[in-house]
Amino acid sequence: MNRHIKFVLLTTFILSFFSINISAQLKTGDLVDGIAVVVGDEIILESDIEDQANFAKQQGAQVADKCEFVESIISNKLLIYEAKRDTLIENRSQAIKEQANQKYTQILGQFPDEKTMLTTYKFRTSYEMKNAIEKIDTDNYYGQMKFQRITDKADVTPNEVTDFFNMYKFQLPEVKDEVSLSQITMYPKLTDDHKNEIIARLNKIKKDIEGGESFESQARIYSDDPGSASNGGLYTNIARGKMVKPFEAAALNLQEGELSEPVESEFGYHLIQLVKKSGRMYDARHILLKAEPNADEIATARKELDSIRTLIMEGKLTFKEAAYRFSDDKQTKFNAGIVTSQDGSDRIEKLNLPPTLSYQIAGLNKGDITDVFQDTERDRKVVSIIKVDDVIAAHQLDINTDYDRIKQMALNKKKNEMVEQWVKERLPNVFISINDRYKTCTFKTDWRKTTASN
């Protein structure tokens, strides 16, 4: 079940997703590359804008005005330029490059083949697409970090929230039908015989590698990890603390080139080879065999959770107590089982619920609990029960019932204003050049008049 359901209250300067279809606005004969904008020593190419727009469109971005899009890039580039000069912001270039490769692999998994993916995203080669992803992720990282540095001390008082509501209440969006939910989720446990079977398979793979087979080829054939299998099981520049504890402990106890024994984690069983270790970073290969429960193991888990549900229905155990004692979901078990959206709210739009969850709670009222049902969560088979904590009918945002949301919107507005002011103060000290191709654009900020030598 996807608990991270997006609910955007107010956009910011940061370009997490770009929103334009530039290709539809370019006329025959227009340049397809060349320098579009220079901000300090940061260069924005026409091809960068095109690549980012194509990539964003495939990620579900909405079409917006071309000039607004370009201006948002300029604003973000100014943040990026200053962020790279800020010694308090960590340089994460290597980690971002590795993440871009992983993201490329994940996107590829959504298509039947690489050619189809590249055609859909309008890239000629895998190198071009990986490079575009890396550029976008790098810009997002530095832009977000500088945005956070500028707005770190931002806050709003109750009076400011009230003033914001009174000023914008007729423009605030209507909240669609929502629910508040709690869950108990259990991972079916494998029998000892099933575990031993998986371990035996890994040991056979290990023996073949020790006998001369390459780790890379065995990973491509056998590994169930979509993020690394096609790359021979390799993860590079892994920072300590990034991987799950059993994986990291085993990897860092190896000598370079050494193979581990089968290692169990929440994802399954791993065969690990340490490739390189340097300071707090290391490279490692692994082969993952998922611990996929069979029908009998799922049935056992369903029976156990159904017994827990009965205790709750009979009043012998509260849902909160049961979630803490029995749920395997770390994100909700310590929070009374409460399911939250991406913005941290415990209210979730019904239209944004995953199909399985929407089906399970259909027709239920406040206080009702679903029967035990099977689901898939983060590629793992689980059994769950859901309690409907509240049902909220569609309504216009109101300060009496939606104070926290309105407060966040007021805070976002204040942060945007802080960044706008910061941009105006920095402009006289930063060289900015915009190609005449955009001379007909009416920007919110007069970038040309404020242009100065660096």
Whether the per-residue pLDDT at 236 is higher than 90: the answer is no
Q: Tell me: the pLDDT tens digits for 301-316?
A: 999 999 999 999 999 9
pLDDT in tens, 121-162: 888 999 999 998 998 899 889 999 999 999 999 999 999 999
The alpha-carbon radius of gyration of the chain (Å, integer) is 26
- 22-157+404-438 and 175-189+294-395 share one fold: no
Percent of the chain with pLDDT over 70: 89
Q: Which CATH number fits domain 175-189+294-395: 3.10.50.40, 3.30.70.100, 3.60.90.10, 3.30.43.10?
A: 3.10.50.40
d(CA 125, CA 118): 7
Which sign, positive or negative, has the C-alpha torsion 189, 190, 192, 196? negative
Domain spans in the chain, listed from the N-terminal domain onward? 22-157+404-438, 175-189+294-395, 192-289
- Maximum Cα interatomic distance, the chain, rounded to a whole number of Å: 75
Q: What is the per-residue pLDDT for 384?
A: 97
Identify the CA nearest to 350 among candidates 342, 362, 340. 362
Half-sphere exposure (Cβ direction) of 7: Cα atoms closer than 13 Å? 26
Does the pLDDT at position 253 exceed 60? yes
CATH code given to domain 192-289:
3.10.50.40
Which segments within 146-301 are labelled E, that is strand?
Answer: 174-175, 178-186, 234-239, 263-265, 268-278, 281-289
Amino acid, res. 364:
L
Percentage of the chain beyond pLDDT 90 is: 60
Distance between CA atoms of residues 267 and 288, nearest Å: 8
Residues in a beta bridge with 35 = 45
Beta bridge partners of 288: 270
The CATH number assigned to the domain with range 22-157+404-438 reads 1.10.4030
Question: Which three-class secondary structure state does DSSP give residue 53?
Answer: helix
Work out the mean pLDDT of the chain and round it to a whole number: 86
State mean pLDDT over 243-268.
94
> Which amino acid makes up residue 230?
S
Q: What confidence category does residue 29 fall into, taking pLDDT thresholds of 50, 70 and 90? A: very low
